[in-house]
């Protein structure tokens, strides 16, 4: 079953067609990569799926029959879709644990009155949330820093905290925007393994945008390549590596960088 279906998606900014009739499907429990040269439109696709942008044309169907365009940006998490950002978006003066717990905000049980009176069920709920966050920190290998502020943490750790916050929402689909950016090769290797473990242990589907080809080729089972907002190839990592159109798109990028 396709957990995400992007059908004929287009969006323009002024005269620029950032996404051009793009279609792709992501099977349940897949790790799916969306790649392409700088400015190809990858983050724009994520922004359309997660409702930051409203496309000019096309459909985005989640979990078989949920039309995501009927949801507002802060409601998509309730249907099981969550994303991380290219530039880490965290509350830097708050602690690591507080940042992770914020992810649970949409799923908290207990009404305003119960919370205001701090009734036993609210205390029990807080304990449950705290234990869940600490369990996620254990899983991510960042236990022990829960009471430190996020500011001052290494960039690679901040990326993990952002993933932890996303996991708190029990997503069915996780969108990772450049999870390896700013990581060294050892951290990227560990992240590749972690992405697979997240899929397996949390039983979810992952779509990632990434420039680091070692992560893309080792973590993803299927890859969609876009350039100038349009799909130029789709297939397994081996098929994508051998695809002449893909090599050309990336070589074009190198040539313009050299100029």
Ligand X SMILES: Nc1ncnc2c1ncn2[C@@H]1O[C@H](COP(=O)(O)OP(=O)(O)OP(=O)(O)O)[C@@H](O)[C@H]1O
Contact (Cβ atoms closer than 8 angstroms) between residue 201 and residue 139: yes
Q: Does 179 bind ligand X (CB under 6 A)?
A: no
Closest approach, Cβ 38 to ligand X, in A, equals 4
| Count of residues touching ligand X (by CB under 6 A) | 11
* 20-79 positions binding ligand X, by CB under 6 A: 36, 38-44
Q: Does 88 bind ligand X (CB under 6 A)?
A: no
Tokens, residue 33: 């990569």
Q: Which is nearer to ligand X, 48 or 82 (CB)?
A: 48
Q: Does 216 bind ligand X (CB under 6 A)?
A: no
Closest approach, Cβ 88 to ligand X, in A, equals 14
Closest approach, Cβ 188 to ligand X, in A, equals 16
Closest approach, Cβ 39 to ligand X, in A, equals 4
Q: Does 182 bind ligand X (CB under 6 A)?
A: no
Strands 16-27, 2-13: pairing is antiparallel
Contact (Cβ atoms closer than 8 angstroms) between residue 33 and residue 179: no
Q: Does 148 bind ligand X (CB under 6 A)?
A: no
Question: 185-202 and 155-167 are packed helices; what angle lies between their axes, rounded to 10 degrees?
Answer: 10
Distance between CA 224 and CA 126 in Å, rounded? 41
H or E stretch at 255: helix 244-258
Q: Does 18 bind ligand X (CB under 6 A)?
A: yes
Each residue of 229-244: b (16+ CB within 10 Å) or e?
A: bbbbbbeebeebeebe
Q: Which residues bind ligand X (CB under 6 A)?
A: 13, 16, 18, 36, 38-44
């Amino acid at each position: 079953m396709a957990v995400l279906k992007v059908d004929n998606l287009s969006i323009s900014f002024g005269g620029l067609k950032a996404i051009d009739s793009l279609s792709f499907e992501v099977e349940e429990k897949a790790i799916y990569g969306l790649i392409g040269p700088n400015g190809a439109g990858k983050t724009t696709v994520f922004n359309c799926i997660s409702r930051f942008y409203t496309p000019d044309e096309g459909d985005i169907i989640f979990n078989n029959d949920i039309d995501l365009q009927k949801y507002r940006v802060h409601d998509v998490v309730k249907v099981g879709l969550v994303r991380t950002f290219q530039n880490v978006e965290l509350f830097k003066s708050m602690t690591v644990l507080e940042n992770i717990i914020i992810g649970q905000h949409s799923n908290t049980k207990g009404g305003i009155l119960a919370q205001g009176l701090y009734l036993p069920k609210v205390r029990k709920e807080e304990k449950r949330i705290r234990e869940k966050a600490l369990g996620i920190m254990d899983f991510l290998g960042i236990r022990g820093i829960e009471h430190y502020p996020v500011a001052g943490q290494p960039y690679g750790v901040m990326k993990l905290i952002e993933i932890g916050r996303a996991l708190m929402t029990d997503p069915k689909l996780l969108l990772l925007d450049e999870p390896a950016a700013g990581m060294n090769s050892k951290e990227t290797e560990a992240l590749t393994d972690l992405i697979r473990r997240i899929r397996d242990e949390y039983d979810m589907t992952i779509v990632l945008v990434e420039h680091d080809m070692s992560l893309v080729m080792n973590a993803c089972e299927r890859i969609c390549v876009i350039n100038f907002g349009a799909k130029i190839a789709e297939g397994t990592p081996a098929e994508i590596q051998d695809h002449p159109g893909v090599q050309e798109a990336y070589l074009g990028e190198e040539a313009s960088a050299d100029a």
